[in-house]
Amino acid sequence: MNTVEIKAYGAKSNDADLKPLDINRREVLAGDVKIDILYCGVCHSDIHQVRNDWGNSKYPVVPGHEIIGRVLETGTDVSKFKEGDLVGVGCLVDSCQECSSCKEGLEQYCENGMVGTYNGKDKHLGGHTFGGYSESVVVREEFVLKVPENIDAKAAAPLLCAGITTWSPLRHWNVKKGDKVGVIGLGGLGHMGVKFANALGAKVVMITTSKNKSEDAKRLGADEVLISKDQEQMKEHANSFDFLLNTVPVKHDLNPYINLLKRDATMVLVGAIEPLEEMHGGLLIGKRRSVAGSVIGGIKETQEMLDFCGEHNVVSDIEMINMQDINEAFERVTKSDVKYRFVIDMKSLKN
């Protein structure tokens, strides 16, 4: 198969900085869309993959799965897109399209393994896929999303991962107007959880360990802030939440949060992909509560989210960087020193 060499940024080992490198993209096949990348968000997963924190990284790692760009070229069978369209690519670039999950539009749970935008198995060129820290990408039409032209394209980039990761559980558990929703943790995911829950009409409570995040939480759409270290406050809010979105990215004690749920209510984990501290069965059994997990979202659902964002003018709070600043940005993400997502201006790579 013919390939085209393009510029990218990647890491050659788990302790290496990201540096310029050249990668190959496949030629545009009949069902493919070639996208000129304008912006790419910096997700915490990018750092985990570069550092091999999950033990499955393949090098070089070219991260990036919050891609916004314009269509450069389309294959002969492509019907949904044309040159110049504003489009997005999230965490997935392929799946089997045949299993029960794929048929239900839940490609992220593909029984035969979804193909990640980077570090996934490249079905065309062999080896592994390369992400959005690059000039362009070639993706099959089914995995390309339409981005509304009326929203700020740079600030839309994080919708493709941080956005859908919080949107999907809010929709799946049917959060609606008037529900009391708690968002635990105010980072890249949490800030989108607050914005979406607010836009869906819920009464939103930001649940955080640090008081100094209160003002920002309210600016983002929280009606109230609950300091989780304050026992009195936690007692006042016990048994009162219809839904909890837990975005804490590391191992932590779930029990104090479970106790906030009403009878039959659910807390969904979207952050911590690792062993957790022990849960007390009594807290679940006594009130028929649930603790669940959720990963990103399917393509149909992602499109619905983007359309909703167009209608309600919801985007992420971002800080723009040049590609050359990426290593410093990684350091700052690790220290939670960003409000609330870095987005790379891909012009800086092309010049």
Which residues of this chain interact with Zn ion, rule CB under 5 A?
43, 45, 95-96, 99, 102, 110, 112, 161
CA distance 210 to 186: 9
Q: Cβ closer to Zn ion: 170 or 261?
A: 170
Q: Cβ closer to Zn ion: 40 or 110?
A: 110
Q: Which two tokens stand for residue 331?
A: 């350091």
**Side-chain-side CA neighbours of residue 166 (13 Å):** 31
Taking the complex as a whole, how short is the minimal distance between the CB of residue 261 and Zn ion, in angstroms? 27
Taking the complex as a whole, how short is the minimal distance between the CB of residue 320 and Zn ion, in angstroms? 18
Q: Cβ closer to Zn ion: 95 or 294?
A: 95
Taking the complex as a whole, how short is the minimal distance between the CB of residue 164 and Zn ion, in angstroms? 9
Q: Cβ closer to Zn ion: 161 or 199?
A: 161
Q: Cβ closer to Zn ion: 66 or 242?
A: 66
CA distances (Å), origin 323, targets 115, 192, 348: 25, 24, 6
Q: Cβ closer to Zn ion: 69 or 187?
A: 187
CA distances (Å), origin 245, targets 90, 113, 173: 21, 26, 10
Taking the complex as a whole, how short is the minimal distance between the CB of residue 45 and Zn ion, in angstroms? 4
Taking the complex as a whole, how short is the minimal distance between the CB of residue 99 and Zn ion, in angstroms? 3
Taking the complex as a whole, how short is the minimal distance between the CB of residue 70 and Zn ion, in angstroms? 22
Q: Cβ closer to Zn ion: 131 or 241?
A: 131
Contacts 24+ apart (CB under 8 A), 297-301: 297/108, 297/164, 297/165, 297/167, 297/168, 298/104, 298/105, 298/106, 298/107, 298/108, 298/168, 299/92, 299/105, 299/107, 299/142, 299/143, 299/145, 300/105, 301/105, 301/164, 301/167, 301/168, 301/171
Taking the complex as a whole, how short is the minimal distance between the CB of residue 95 and Zn ion, in angstroms? 5
Residue number, nearest CB to Zn ion: 43
With H, G, I as helix, E, B as strand and everything else as coil, classify residue 313: coil
Radius of gyration of the chain (CA): 20
**Phi–psi pair at 179, nearest 5 degrees:** -65, 145
